[in-house]
Amino acid sequence: MWLSHWNNVQRCLVLLVLLVLAAPQAVALVAAVDQNGDGLVYPSAIAGYHAPVDRTSSDRPFLFWLNDDQDDLELYESWPHTAPDNADDHPGSLRDLEDITRIVIEHDDWQSLDPAVTQLRLAWEAGDDTPVIRLWRSGIPRCSRSYLEETVIGQRQLASPYRESVGVVAQQALTLPLSLWTAAERERQWLCLLFEGVQAGVATLQVSLLINEEVVETSPPIHLVLRPVKSFYERVAVHWPEEYKAPWGYFRNPPVPELHAQPEAMGVPFERPWYETSDVIVWVHGWIPQDPENYRRTLVFSFETMWKRLWHQGFRGRVIHFRWPTVKKLEMFGLHVSEYRAYKSASALNEYIHQLPDELSVHVTTHSLGGVLLMEAIKQGLTAEQALFQVSAVAAESFDSDDSLVIPGVSESPRSALGHTGYLTETKTPIYTAYNPADITWMGWNAAQRVTKPLAGVTSRYVWVPEDESGSGVRLNRWWLHSRPVDDPHEAMAGAIPARSQALGAEGRVSGVVEAAYNLHHPPFGFQSDHVAMWRWNPQKVLPYSNLILDVFNIPYNDAGLSGSDQ
């Protein structure tokens, strides 16, 4: 009997040992980055929190960009980039912080380690090309990303001692003393570093714990890919044929150009990230210069900055910049020519979006004068999940024909079939608008409507001839020696017929086909009179606007208050 009992005890002991061996073993040293893009960094699971653990792999690495712009100004940034941010040891400004991200190093008991003899070593263990990263000690408790969310905390990171780099990880390893962190910081489970990309490459990063210069523990690897920022988003462009003149340059009706969107690599082709979701945001710019140098500058200052801000908020779909051929010269005449080109470029936007795979959820947004292009594309049947018009320089009466929108004192403008009133009466795409009545841009826009719009260059003028029954009632006179009817509504609205209302981007009362309007002059935005605050201002100040874009598009974004985490 006792022998049988002993055999049962042995079996239980063996089973217990097997269960212990099979159970997940705690790892004392772990390093992690925000691989899943949820705004939190969890090297290992923590009881009471539901955020997933951040684990990279060779086929699911952490992707980040090189910090090779020049964010050394409070507004915008310097151009050209003569002193890239990753060429020195200090973050250049609050804007520069959006080119920096976190590494969290976890140990089950930092306090038990003697900081006098304990070090952390960061080294590349394997890779195709050796990247280079520069690191700083984080000044933010709990390794949060609040340096991107709050101005005061961002300024703390820019102040001594946190602004001084602790070194770079290149072909040689970087060794940091544990005493780099204060006793209070070592009481926590996590130590936090920030890093920027200095040199592109693909490799695995390992953190080792050294005591008396001997390695006692090594973390699982972080698979990291650093590459140029332009490889993260797609670019397409519509080019205007050089032989096509402004519409008022023709004695007969202007020819209609055949326009198509073509890929625009700009030396750095788009590379689809492994994490890409089915959401696509197509971004149509406003009135910007088109010569190569100024176009690159504007792309970096505006769209590229907005891409980074959406990325930090957790957007992991594709973003596509849609370039169309504006004319940034001849003052207001350039504005009218650009408006005409916007109408004509709409078919190319439609064609491009409709060739995207059906399984994608396409969202479209535009800024300022790009609203003309997007409105026309919607009129032509563009289908998207939503369309967001950002402070758009297009007549509000085109979306809503209610007479209450007419500016008091404005003389009666032509209201033929070629006019703005009620131009867009139905849509398959829900329309939203972000407006700012205090935007200083509307002074110029209104002046263009009232003063320069009937003019057509130096030698011509559009006139309204209501008794002319042979056409629309709008004609183009050239030196009073030649006259032709205007039959194209695009030419009429762009050059001949002034808007009777404010711009859509200035008007909060518009309804019609508009589902909702958001006032950017009011909190939490407070854009004051700035037409481009969303990318000109620091990321901490415009965080609510980045969230608004994703809110309108029904795309979840990062908010530590929603996660139940103290990060």
29-42 pLDDT, tens per residue? Answer: 999 999 999 999 99
Mutual angle of helices 305-312 and 543-552, in 10-degree steps: 80
Query: What whole-number percentage of the chain has pLDDT above 90?
Result: 74
Residue 83: its pLDDT value, please?
Answer: 95
Comparison of pLDDT for 372 and 8, the residue scoring more: 372
Residue 5 has pLDDT above 50, yes or no: no
- pLDDT confidence tier of residue 417, bands split at 50, 70 and 90: low
pLDDT grade, residue 467 (50/70/90)? Answer: low
Question: Is a pLDDT exceeding 60 seen at residue 188?
Answer: yes
Please determine, for residue 204, whether its predicted confidence score (pLDDT) is greater than 90: yes
What pLDDT does residue 2 have?
Answer: 41
Which element (helix H / strand E) includes 263?
strand 262-263
Q: How far apart are CA 284 and CA 227, in angstroms?
A: 25
pLDDT confidence bin for 453, thresholds 50/70/90? confident
- Is pLDDT at 244 greater than 80 in this prediction? yes
Angle at 475 between CA 471 and CA 477, to 5 degrees: 145
Instruction: Supply the pLDDT for residue 471.
Output: 60
Q: Provide the token pair at 116.
A: 């006098």
**pLDDT, the chain, mean:** 89
Q: How far apart are CA 516 and CA 508, in angstroms?
A: 9
Average pLDDT score over residue span 49-61: 89
Confidence at residue 46, expressed as pLDDT on a 0 to 100 scale: 75
The answer to whether the beta carbons of residues 121 and 178 sit under 8 Å apart is no
Flag whether pLDDT at 493 surpasses 90: yes
- Does the structure show a pLDDT above 60 at 412? no
pLDDT, residue 24, reads 40
H or E, element range at 372:
helix 370-379
Summarize the confidence of residues 341-347 as an average pLDDT: 98
Percent of the chain predicted with pLDDT > 70: 89
Residue 22 has pLDDT above 60, yes or no: no
pLDDT of residue 361: 98
Residues 6 or more apart from 255 whose CB is under 8 A from it?
A: 244
Residue 528 DSSP SS3: coil
Residue with tokens 């910049």: 321
pLDDT at 9: 40
The pLDDT, as a whole number, for residue 482 is 80
Residue 470's pLDDT is what? 57
pLDDT number for residue 177: 97
Left, alpha or beta for 331 (phi > 0: left; psi -120 to 50: alpha)? left
